[in-house]
Amino acid sequence: MISQFFVLSQRGDNIVFRDYRGDIQKGSAEIFFRKVKFWKEDGKEEAPPVFNLDGVNYIHVKVVGLLFVATTRNNLPPSLVLELLQRVARVIKDYLGVLNEDSLRKNFVLVYELLDEVIDFGYVQSTSTEVLKSYIFNEPIVVDAGRLPSLGPAALFMQGNKRMPGTAVTKSVVAQETGGTKREEIFVDVIEKISVTFSSSGYILTSEIDGTIQMKSYLSGNPEIRVALNDDLTIGRGGRSIYDYSGSSGSGAVILDDCNFHESVHLDSFDVDRTLSLVPPDGEFPVMNYRITQEFKPPFRINNLVEESEHFKAEVILKIRAEFPSSVTANTIVIEMPLPTYTTRVNFELEPGAVGQRTDFKESNKRLEWSLKKIVGESEHTLRVKLTFPQELHGNITKEAGPVSMTFTIPMYNPSGLQVKYLQIAKKTKTYNPYRWVRYVTQANSYVARI
C-alpha cells in the first residue's frame, strides 16, 4: 500500500497531492524535491527511481517533465509502484488529452476524481481507462496542444511548419468535439527503443530492440478491427541476421526473440497469416510488445579518436555518420562523453557552416555535451575538442575518457523492419475516417561507443 501520491513540476511546485494514510510527516514533497535536485550520493548526478530517506521510501518516475511520486513506509515491490505511477500518468493523459502542468492545473477536479477511483486508502482499485469511465462524471477542460510547448510524442511529427495528422496524445477519450460531432479515428504507433554498444574499432558488441505497437481508438460502437503484420514475421531465434535490412520501407525477414500481446488481442489467425483481431478498449494501450537481440543495421555510426598532442594537451575527434536514408531526419540528438577528471579547459571546434549545433562542458562532472537539432540521413558531422590539463599526463588518456553515449529520436523509421501492413475495421460506416498510415519512431534507449 502507498501512503501518499503527488505530482511535482520541474520547479518543484506541488500540482497534485493526495495523502491516503496520514502516516508520513507533512512537507514530504518538499523534502523529496530537495533530495532529488541536489542528489550527490553514489557518485551520481541523478537520483535513482527508488530511495529511502528517514524511514520513508520515495518512488518516482518522470513523465514529460513532471515528477510522479509515491511514498510509503512499507516494504513494497518497487516495480509494482513504478508500474502504478506509469499507469496513473497514462490514465490522466487519456482523460485530459494533453499531459503537462497547464492541463493538470486546469483539470485538478477531474484529476482528484480519477485518483479517488484509482487508489482507495493506499490500495489500487483499477487503472483501466475503460472501467473508470463508469465512475468519472467531470468533463475535462481541453487544452489546445498547438499553443503549448510540445513535450510528448506530438512534437516529433513535424514537417516544417505543418503538423502531421492529429496525434492521439492530444485528445481526451471523454471530451466532446467542437460542434457536437465526433471524429471517428484510430491511431497506431510503432515505437522502438534501441540499445547498441560499439567497440573502439567500430564493431557492434551488443544490440537490442525493445518495441511496442501502441494504439488509441476513437471509433464509436467498439467495432472489431484486424491488424496485419509482416508475412515473413518469425518468432524465436533461428540463427539468421537482419543486418542487411536498410530501413522500414525495405524488405527482409523480421525475427523476434519474443513478444506478448494485450489481453484484448485474439490470436486465432496469427500463426496462419500474421493478423491480430481485437476490440480496442478506451484509452491508449500497447497492442504488442516485442524484443530483438539479433544484429540489425544501427541508424548511426560513432567514430572517436583521442590523441595526446602535447604534454599538457590532448585532442578528441568525434564523428557521427547517419546510416538511414536521406529522406529520413533524426531529431534532438545529444552526444555526451566523460573527460579526464583533471581537465581544466575545453575548446570546441565545429564544422564550418554548422547550424543548429551546440556544445558545452559540464565542469561539475567533467563531461562534454554536443547537441544537434537534426541530422539528415546519409550525412556526417564532426566535432573537434581540444583539452588542456594542469600537469603533465601519466598513463593512457583513453582510459580516463569515454565512453561516448548518444540519445536521439527518428520519426518514420524503425530498424527492425516490423510493419503494420493494413488495419481493417470489421463494421465500417461512412462516419469512420481512419488515417491510412502508421507512424514509426525510433529512440535511443542506450547508444554507447567505447574508446
What is the CATH number for 269? 2.60.40.1170
Q: Do 327 and 365 fall within a single domain? A: yes
Say what the pTM is. Answer: 0.78
The partner residues of 71 in beta bridges, in order of sequence, read: 4, 58
Indicate the average pLDDT of the chain. 83
* Alpha-carbon gap, residue 167 to 93, rounded angstroms: 13
pLDDT mean over 194-222: 86
* Residue 418 included in any domain: yes
Cα–Cα distances (Å) from 197 to 60, 403, 411, 414, in that order, read 28, 10, 22, 18
* Residue 148 included in any domain: no
* Residue 168 included in any domain: no
* Residue 74 included in any domain: yes
Q: Do 407 and 419 fall within a single domain? A: no
Strands (E), 9-65: 14-19, 50-53, 56-63
pLDDT mean over 256-275: 91
Q: Do 249 and 364 fall within a single domain? A: no
* Residue 278 included in any domain: yes
Q: By 3-state DSSP, what share of the chain in percent is helix, strand and coil, each rounded to 5?
A: 15, 40, 45
Range in 113-117, 202-206, 295-299 with the lowest mean pLDDT: 202-206
Q: Do 231 and 266 fall within a single domain? A: yes
Q: Do 257 and 333 fall within a single domain? A: no
Q: Do 216 and 306 fall within a single domain? A: no
* Residue 155 included in any domain: no
For position 47, which CATH number holds?
3.30.450.60
Quick one: pLDDT band at residue 266, thresholds 50, 70, 90? very high
Are β-strands 123-124 and 204-217 bridged in parallel, bridged antiparallel, or unpaired?
unpaired
SS3 330: strand
255 neighbors 240 (Cβ within 8 angstroms): yes
The angle at the Cα of 7, spanning 5 to 13, to the nearest 5 degrees, equals 130
Say whether pLDDT at 42 is over 80: no
Q: Which domain holds residue 333?
A: 300-411
Name 344's Cβ contacts closer than 8 Å, sequence gap at least 6: 388, 389, 390
Rounded to the nearest 5°, which phi and psi values hold at 86?
-65, -40
Helices (H), 97-229: 101-106, 108-118, 129-132
pLDDT value of residue 371: 93
Quick one: pLDDT band at residue 183, thresholds 50, 70, 90? low
Cis omega (within 30 of 0) for bond into 403? yes
Number of domain units in the chain? 3
Q: Do 52 and 183 fall within a single domain? A: no
Range in 7-11, 42-46, 371-375, 414-418 with the lowest mean pLDDT: 42-46
Q: Do 431 and 388 fall within a single domain? A: no
Lookup: cell for 215? 494504439
* Alpha-carbon gap, residue 167 to 98, rounded angstroms: 10
pLDDT value of residue 33: 93
